[in-house]
Amino acid sequence: MKKLLISAAALAVATPAMAASGPFFSLGNTDFVVLVAFLIFIGILLYAGVPGMIGGLLDKRSAAIKAELEEARALREEAKTILASYERKQKEVIEQSNRIVASAKEEANAAADKAKAELKVSIERRLKAAEEQIASAEASAVRQVREQAVAVAVAAAGDVLSKQSTPEWAAASIDAAIEQVGDKLH
């Protein structure tokens, strides 16, 4: 407040009227002429409605700035909404990919377990088949050895009997052997 009073006092003391020589209110005083021209100019401006026009232009500009600010706020809110939507979608996609990876791991583990079980069953089946083939081959070999032994024994017995036997005794021996073979086979 003090500054305003000091400024007003300084203007009153240092007015151009004090600097000019002669009476202030004469057309010979350029300061007075400039003051009158300035007042007429201000009057013309007021009469033409320039302050209203300037106010209107300022009001339009103010309204345009307000509209731009509102539009910017709306765009900002829309951008926030879109950003939140994309962040939500990104989280959903990450969760879905995690679920897919977990599901794939579970499926891979299940497939590996199933393959192990199938491999174990296959190995057991092949071992069993190999054991059966070995047993069959063993039985076949034993049978062939017996057949060969029987053939050799029969041939040897035939030789011995043909050298030492009589026809009556040979017939009785053959009958007895047939009986024994029949008993052993049944």
Put simply, whether the predicted model's pTM sits higher than 0.85 gets the answer no
CB 55 within 8 A of CB 61: no
Task: Give the whole-angstrom CA distance, residue 5 versus residue 41.
Answer: 28
pLDDT for 3: 53
pLDDT for 56: 92
pLDDT for 178: 86
Task: Give the whole-angstrom CA distance, residue 73 versus residue 87.
Answer: 21
**In the chain, where the domains are located:** 76-154
* Segment-wise mean pLDDT, segments of 10 residues, the chain, 186 residues: 52 50 78 94 93 92 96 96 96 95 94 92 91 89 85 78 72 82 78
pLDDT for 113: 93
pLDDT for 17: 47
Buried b (16+ CB within 10 A) or exposed e, 1-18: eeeeeeeeeeeeeeeeee
pLDDT for 19: 52
